[in-house]
Structure 1
Amino acid sequence: MKDLGYYVPAVLLAIGFACRVPGMRRTWRDPLLRTVNALLIVASSVLFFAAPTTIALVNRVTGIPNFSAPLVYSILTAYNAACLVMIINWRGGPAEAARRAGLRCVAAYALVIVALFTLFGIGDASEERLRDLDTHYANTPYIREMIALYLVAHCIASLVTTVLCWKWSVRVHGWLRTGLVLIVSGYLLNLVFDVLKFLAVGARWAGHDWDGLSTDAAPPVASVSALLVAAGFIVPLVGPRLSHTWQSWSAYRRLGPLWRALRAGPTVAGGSVGMAWWSSAELRLTYREAGILDGFLSLAPYFDLALHDAAKSAAYETGADPRRAKAVADAAMIAAALTARSHDPQGLALAGEPPEAPTAIERARDLVLVSEAFRTSPIVEAARRDPAWAGSKQP
């Protein structure tokens, strides 16, 4: 059951990577998105291969006791490199300079990986240790240096990334700042992980046993850290899209009162057209806006511009700003028109030349305010009860 602390976040990160696979062909040339994809899969691999069950399996398959140690340390080092390259590409600047800086970073950490396997190869780690290799071999020549090297490389990457992201986060806003704060939080936990490991290994060097810091406390810290860092890189990329979708759903819902009132009429274009359950929020909003605007056309013979002007003046008297006053006036004119149409079952107002739709009701960007006023404004309610209400407001 302890392995779930490794496998669950590994699966979550792998799912995040899988969700990005369909769009990879279109974004492969973008170094930023390419690095995000690499970061997700490498972070997932770190947690998967660090699980004791996977460690035992890799050791058994390779036939080399503790071969998982340099493998996990190397994947963790690659993860550090991917994070730094991500920051380099994310910060922008000249493309060629970013490319050179990224290559230098990758080359440096590639040398660390080579050194890790070299030190493991010349050291003696013949007794398999699934959970406590760092502390068990803390005093073994070459294996000791391998452990210290991966911890130092990890600590340097964590410090650099934390400082860079924190400095950057105070200069930006919105989703980018949220992502940077998540990354900083994750890397602060990475530093906690490094401290716990260093304390446990240092205690062994001093002849003490603080192994629990390494075997019990450090792994869950690493799991949470990986999730926070991955989320920090993903949020600024998907956040704006999610925000736009949420705004579309919110506008769709808030347009409901006005749309339902107009839909009850006999001639709303598109009123019988169904929407598939998988239709996007944007498509649903467009459909609802179109239905409302078509409903306005069917109400045009009943619109009263004098009532519109009176309602706007009444809204100004209540302290409404120009945009909201216009929305109240539009809603009042619509409410009165609906009442007037309900009192004209024979459609007498439709006889003869149809009047032009008044310019009082404009594009859909203001429809949400109109719908809210239609539902809540006492001025609209007065116009709804008495379509001749405008006459009583005239001087």
Structure 2
Amino acid sequence: MNRTINDVLYPIDATLAGAAFLFKLVSLRKNRDAASVALCIGFGFLTIVFTISTPVVWSAFDRALGVPNLAALVTQGLVIANTAALQAMMLFWLYPRTEAWRKIRFRATLLALVLLVMTALFLMTPTAGERSRDFVATHARIPTYSVYLLVYMAAYTITRLDILRMTWRYAPVAGAPWLRRGLRIFGGGAIFGLIYCAARITDIVGAVAGWDPNRWENMARLGAGIGAICTMVGLTMPSWGPHLSRVAEWFGRQRAYQQLYPLWSALHGAVPGIALDPPPRISWLGRYAVRDVKFKLTRRVVEILDGRLALREHFDAQVEQSARQTAADRGFDAAELSAVVEAAVLAGAVRAKQRDQLPLEPAQLTVNADGDRTDMSREVRRLVKVSQAFARSPVVRAAVAADSPQPAPQDA
């Protein structure tokens, strides 16, 4: 028989579910609350579902037990059990323990009745031969299996809607950002589950109408497979997501450290004493900070501000006015204009310091044009704009070129 999506997607789902199960199982050593236990159980059920649903395993499972297509009942029953576990997890998050257990018992009782009805209907259904890849589509025309499928889909749809309702309720008020993101992705998985439901209900309608149910089998398979992936990603995201944030922060600081280098290097050349440590002998190494990036970035910002302070007597009002006018003429917004003006004044001050020159009219440039200097992240963003303008802006080059500094007075 030709390979289908099941042969590719379901092994991937089984692998991911198994990894998620082991991940949560290990984490239970540190955190064994009821919600975490329910989630671990849910991942365990999901691992079994997609493992058995893989066609080659399905066939081996049926041969081992001697009952054709028993894998269908087992996997679909475990889907209901998985959904019950995920409901329990959400209920433990949303309600006090006593109330959560009361709601869980009510739902578990109903789902147990559903499983009993499904088992009875399955045993009453004559087999159409082993169908590891298209069992539902093949058996949808059999009346008892149609009823079985309606019961299964009704339970599945109601539980998925219940999960979707709870995620919509809890996600906006969840404290941790990665928990909010994870719950929204989990809710997206429930929506894909509803797509699976729609395809399966269409199997029943199509059987009555005489349609070929295999036409929408891929929609059912994708709905189940992608929905499961969303569930696994969303519910593990609060655990691994913060690590991604830390990696992103490291790269962001590293990039800012590099972007500040042109301004820092120029200021250090004019005022060497600002450096806490001597720069590396190989100049380009000064652009990178592999270790202690946060500290080194903070130190670079402080050294730039120290250099700025040391050069203030060389700030030239003519440079400032020229840069401000040119930037305004080009339609720069307030932040761009501020960065360009500061970069031009600093570039002029560095040149004046190297030539030992003082301006005819000193500039009264505000030390921090954008707000609270104690907000380091804000100060980094501001100085990065200044450094980029310092290195690349034609406005800065034009303003410095228009400068006409006078020699500093010499002592008699």
Task: Please give the TM-score of this superposition, normalised by the length of structure 2.
Answer: 0.66
The count of residues paired between Structure 1 and Structure 2 equals: 370
Paired residue secondary structure (1:26): coil
With over 3 angstroms needed to count, the CA separation of the structure-2 counterparts of 1:306 and 1:109, relative to structure 1, is farther
Aligned pair in 2 of structure 1 residues 58, 308: CA closer, same or farther (>3 Å)?
farther
Q: Provide the residue aligned with 2:51 in structure 1.
A: 48
Which residue is equivalent to 1:371?
A: 384
Q: Are 1:225 and 2:233 matched, yes or no?
A: no
- SS of the residue corresponding to residue 133 of structure 2 reads coil
Instruction: Tell me the CA shift for residue 235 of structure 1.
Output: 5.1
CA contact (8 A) 1:302 1:340 kept: no
Q: Which one of 62, 65, 69 corresponds to residue 62 of structure 1?
A: 65
| Partner deviation per Cα, 1:219-248 (whole Å, 9 max, x = no partner) | 223212222344444556655664565355
Q: 1:123 to 1:97 in 2, by over 3 A?
A: same
- CA distance in 1 between counterparts of 2:77 and 2:406 reads 78
2:109 & 2:278 partners in 1: Cα distance? 61
Would the alpha carbon gap of residues 184 and 301 (structure 1) be closer, same or farther in structure 2, given more than 3 Å must change?
closer
Q: In structure 2, do the counterparts of structure 1 residues 183 and 103 end up closer, same or farther at CA, with 3 Å as the change threshold?
A: same
- Offset of residue 301 of structure 1: 8.1
Question: Which of 67, 89, 101 is residue 103 of structure 2 equivalent to?
Answer: 101
What is the DSSP-based 3-state SS (H/G/I as helix, E as strand, rest coil) of the residue aligned with 1:200? helix
Match of 2:296 in 1: 287
| Structure 1 pair 213–269 and aligned structure 2 pair: CA distance change class (3 A) | same
2:316/2:348 contact within 8 Å kept:
no
TM-superposed CA distance for 1:97, in Å, is: 2.5
Q: 1:250 — aligned with what? A: 252
Report the equivalent of 2:311: 303
Question: Are 2:315 and 2:349, in contact at CA under 8 Å, matched by a contact in 1?
Answer: no
Instruction: Give how far 1:287 is off.
Output: 2.8
1:27 aligns with 2:31: yes
Over the matched positions of the two proteins, sequence identity in percent amounts to: 19
In structure 2, give the amino acid aligned to 1:269: D
Partner Cα distance (1:241, 1:95) in 2: 30
Give the Cα separation in 2 of the matches to 1:172 and 1:111. Answer: 33
| Cα separation, 2, equivalents of 1:154 and 1:202 | 18
Letter in 1 for 2:297: R
Match of 1:193 in 2: 196
1:130 positional shift: 1.8
- Taking the aligned partners of 1:310 and 1:228, their CA distance within structure 2 comes to 60
Partners of 2:169 and 2:405 in 1: CA distance: 61
CA contact (8 A) 1:88 1:102 kept: yes
Report deviation, 1:157: 1.4
- 1:25-60 deviation per Cα after TM superposition (whole angstroms, max 9, x unaligned): 3333372x5555444454444333212112112112
Q: CA deviation at 1:116?
A: 4.0
Deviations 1:243-266 (A, max 9, x none): 565355335324423235435746
**Aligned partner letter, 2:315:** L
SS in 2 for 1:65: coil
153, 156, 160: which one aligns with 2:155: 153
Q: Give the secondary structure class of the aligned counterpart of 2:9.
A: helix
Give deviations 1:317-370, integer Å, cap 9, x for gaps: 8789998888667756754565466568xxxxxxxxxxxxxx947443302211
Q: 1:138-159 deviations in whole A, cap 9, x for unaligned?
A: 5768666544432221122123
Distance 2:70 2:301 in 1: 67
Q: Is the 8 A contact 1:332 1:380 kept in 2?
A: yes
Work out whether residues 55 and 130 of structure 1, in 8 Å CA contact, stay in contact via their aligned partners in 2: yes
Q: What is the SS of the residue equivalent to 1:27?
A: coil
Scaled by the length of structure 1, the TM-score of the pair is 0.69
1:84 is aligned to 87
How many Å apart are 1:296 and its aligned residue? 5.1
Question: Alignment RMSD, CA only?
Answer: 4.9
Distance 1:369 1:235 in 2: 32
Structure 2: segments with no counterpart, 5+ residues: 357-365, 408-412
Identify the residue that residue 212 of structure 1 maps to in structure 2: 214
Match of 1:74 in 2: 77
Aligned residue for 1:259?
Answer: 261
Does structure 2 retain, via aligned residues, the 8 Å contact 1:179–1:234?
yes
> How far apart in 2 are the matches of 1:72 and 1:383?
74
Amino acid at match of 2:83: N
Instruction: Tell whether the 8 Å contact from 1:13 to 1:43 is kept in structure 2 after alignment.
Output: yes
| Structure 2 CA distance for aligned equivalents of residues 149 and 56 of structure 1 | 25
